[in-house]
């Protein structure tokens, strides 16, 4: 007996299922899918950041938590690989960091003379968010009085394109030349932006081919683009996956706002028992009633006024019907989908913690922190470290830094840790106690704990030593005043019990709210066409 042939072994591949049969996405390579549509996606992404407060806020939240006031260099040469002493490596690192600050903390690192390295890093993060990529040219521009000639020119990724708008082909895609293994060999840059409206130069339509590296390995261009698929050449803007939700929500909010404004303009409606024929006769011609109606139509509302009514008329108040009762819940449900697509907790995206208890807020922020740390590590690897290598090469050539056999051991000499903004504390007492416990049982270090709060542990230790010496010099007691109740006392236990009870009550109400939101989420998915 032959087995019956099934229509589809996987429901996900069904062409007959009513919910799936109209869903026929194409299959293509990463570049074939992205490159023809990249311009449209980027344009819509930038429009959202310009005109949507939520999109602009999402970008700012990511930049604030990934970059903050800048990525601080903590040089950490691999002393084992280099065959040098650890103490010598620490002394080398301190020397390098001092010279690095002379360049990075001033606007001398920028070709326009307007940005520090921290400003440039924030701009790179914004460019990656909006355009899916960032682009910079390291130039050699000596200036009198400046110790280093390295200058960075941040470019719009739109200038990276095929010469003369040639179609993409093997070896040249999206303005990037690559070898048979996909390694970039050169970049084609247009002299100006493709849609620059201010330039009348004859070179406005010219392209320059810039090799990726010099013969000795120095980077000629820095290109940062998150890669999410094998064979992908250009990056995708962060808003790409949630643009449809942004558009639907924006249209809905605009319609509700207009309806609310119109509804608010009508306060009272006059109702009369007379039929249309009687009204036509009454107000026709030069009748007294016609003059009365015309005069009443010119009356402007003011405080304490009395509205004259015609015989049989009565005034009815207009009940406000906008915004719709489901408007807040619907908006919240869509915003949760957008937050998930951006890898940002809903509470952090909207800066709204009014419905969140300590446990929920901490869980949400810990999840966000994992994302921010991964983005910071990516930015450090693809932006900060290449720039550091370029600067370090010049510092070595000028004799400021000694790094024997640098070109053969570039990775070991340029190894570093980049410290970003601190995680912050929700409950400083609880989390400081947790940090103290981790240090006491030996599962963390001062370096890690300080880095979590955006500080360099050596700077903290040195500052504490200076403060201790100053207090001793002045004869002051450096011990802080101890609280009345010692740790672990009954007062603490009572406070902890109250906190736990509050959290439990908050958790119950949170569970009820989340069940209602999940039900509404299902309705929103149906309205948005969840799989389309």
pLDDT given at position 485 = 46
Residue 83 has pLDDT above 50, yes or no: yes
Residue 219 has pLDDT above 90, yes or no: yes
Rg (CA), the chain: 32
Q: Taking the mean position of all CA atoms in its chain, how far away is CA 348?
A: 11
Mean pLDDT of 21-28: 89
pLDDT given at position 486 = 46
Nearest to 25 by CA among 35, 15, 39, 37: 15
User: pLDDT grade, residue 449 (50/70/90)?
Assistant: confident
Mean pLDDT of 493-520: 53
pLDDT given at position 491 = 42
Please report, in angstroms and rounded to a whole number, the separation of the first and last CA atoms in the chain: 41
Q: Which residue has the higher pLDDT, 502 or 179?
A: 179
pLDDT given at position 325 = 73
Share of the chain above pLDDT 90, in %: 51
CA distance 168 to 29: 13
Nearest to 503 by CA among 364, 365, 362, 348: 362
Tokens matching residue 40: 């449209």
User: pLDDT grade, residue 477 (50/70/90)?
Assistant: confident
DSSP string, 227-250: --STT--S---TTGGGHHHHHHHH
pLDDT given at position 256 = 81
pLDDT given at position 358 = 79
CA distance 190 to 208: 6
Give strand pairing partners of 173.
Answer: 176
Residue 28 has pLDDT above 70, yes or no: yes
pLDDT given at position 310 = 64
Backbone angles phi, psi at 236, to 5 degrees: -110, 135
Domain ranges for the chain, please list them: 30-36+67-239, 426-475
Residue 194 has pLDDT above 60, yes or no: yes
Q: Taking the mean position of all CA atoms in its chain, how far away is CA 393?
A: 32
pLDDT in tens, 300-319: 666 666 666 666 777 777 66
pLDDT given at position 81 = 95
CA distance 99 to 275: 91
CA distance 328 to 260: 14
pLDDT given at position 490 = 44
CA distance 249 to 245: 6
- Rounded to two decimals, the pTM is 0.78
Which range (29-33, 52-56, 441-445) has the least confidence?
Answer: 441-445
User: pLDDT grade, residue 510 (50/70/90)?
Assistant: low
Residue 180 has pLDDT above 60, yes or no: yes
Query: SS3 for 456-521, per residue?
Result: CHHHHHHHHHHHHHHHHHHCCCCCCCCCCCCCCCHHHHHHHHHHHHHHHHHHHHHHHHHHHHHHHH
User: pLDDT grade, residue 444 (50/70/90)?
Assistant: confident
CA distance 108 to 151: 7
Nearest to 224 by CA among 105, 106, 109, 129: 129
**What integer best gives the mean pLDDT of the chain?**
83
Which range (92-96, 325-329, 385-389) has the least confidence?
Answer: 325-329
Secondary structure element (H or E) that encloses residue 21, with its range: none
Nearest to 63 by CA among 155, 117, 127: 127
Q: Are 421 and 68 in contact (CB under 8 A)?
A: yes
pLDDT in tens, 108-123: 999 999 999 999 999 9
Angle, CA 214 vertex, CA 212 and CA 218 arms, to 5°? 85
Q: Which residue has the higher pLDDT, 197 or 421?
A: 421
Tokens matching residue 115: 């940005």
Mean pLDDT of 366-386: 95
User: pLDDT grade, residue 213 (50/70/90)?
Assistant: very high
pLDDT given at position 489 = 44
- Alpha-helical runs (H) found in 18-78: 30-34, 38-51, 53-66
Tell whether the torsion through CA atoms of 14, 19, 25 and 27 is positive or negative: negative
CA distance 290 to 248: 47
């Amino acid at each position: 007996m032959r087995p019956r042939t099934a229509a589809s072994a996987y429901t996900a591949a069904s062409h007959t299922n009513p919910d799936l049969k109209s869903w026929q996405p194409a299959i293509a390579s990463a570049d074939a899918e992205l490159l023809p549509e990249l311009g449209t996606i980027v344009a819509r992404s930038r429009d959202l950041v310009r005109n949507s407060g939520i999109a602009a806020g999402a970008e700012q939240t990511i930049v604030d938590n990934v970059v903050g006031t800048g990525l601080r260099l903590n040089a950490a040469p691999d002393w084992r690989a280099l065959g040098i002493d650890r103490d010598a490596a620490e002394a080398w690192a301190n020397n390098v960091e001092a010279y690095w600050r002379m360049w990075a903390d001033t606007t001398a690192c920028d070709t326009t003379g307007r940005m520090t390295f921290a400003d440039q890093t924030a701009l790179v993060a914004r460019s990656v968010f909006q355009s899916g990529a960032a682009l910079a040219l390291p130039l050699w521009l000596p200036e009198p009085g400046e110790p280093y000639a390295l200058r960075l020119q941040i470019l719009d990724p739109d200038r990276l394109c095929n010469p003369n708008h040639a179609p993409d082909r093997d070896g040249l895609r999206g303005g990037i030349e690559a070898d048979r293994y996909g390694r970039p060999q050169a970049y084609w840059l247009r002299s100006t932006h493709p849609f620059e409206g201010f330039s009348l130069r004859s070179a406005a339509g010219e392209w320059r081919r810039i090799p990726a590296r010099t013969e000795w390995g120095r980077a000629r261009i820095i290109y940062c683009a998150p890669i999410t698929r094998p064979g992908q050449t250009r990056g995708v803007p962060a808003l790409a996956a949630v643009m449809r939700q942004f558009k639907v929500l924006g249209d809905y909010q605009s319609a509700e706002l207009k309806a609310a404004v119109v509804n608010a303009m009508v306060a009272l409606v006059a109702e009369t028992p007379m039929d249309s024929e009687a009204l036509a006769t009454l107000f026709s011609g030069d009748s007294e009633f016609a003059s009365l109606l015309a005069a009443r139509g010119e009356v402007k509302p003011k405080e304490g006024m009395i509205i004259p009514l015609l015989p049989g008329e009565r005034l009815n108040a207009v009940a406000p019907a906008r915004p719709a009762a489901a408007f807040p819940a619907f908006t919240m449900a869509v915003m949760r989908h957008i937050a998930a697509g951006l890898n940002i907790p809903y509470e952090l995206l909207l800066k709204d913690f009014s419905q969140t208890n300590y446990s929920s807020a901490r869980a949400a922020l810990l999840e966000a922190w994992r994302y921010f740390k991964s983005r910071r590590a990516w930015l450090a690897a693809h932006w900060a470290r290449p720039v550091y290598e370029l600067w370090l090469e010049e510092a070595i050539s000028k004799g400021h830094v000694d790094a024997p056999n640098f070109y053969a051991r570039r990775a070991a000499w340029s190894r570093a840790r980049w410290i970003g903004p601190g995680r912050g504390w929700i409950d400083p007492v609880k989390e400081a106690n947790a940090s103290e416990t981790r240090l006491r049982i030996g599962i963390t270090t001062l370096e890690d704990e300080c880095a979590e709060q955006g500080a360099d542990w050596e700077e903290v230790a040195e500052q504490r030593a200076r403060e201790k010496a100053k207090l001793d010099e002045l004869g002051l007691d450096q011990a802080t005043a101890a609280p009345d109740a010692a740790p672990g006392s009954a007062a603490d236990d009572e406070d902890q019990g109250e906190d736990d009870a509050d959290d439990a009550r908050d958790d119950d109400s949170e569970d009820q709210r989340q069940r209602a939101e999940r039900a509404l989420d299902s309705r929103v998915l149906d309205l948005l066409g969840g799989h389309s």
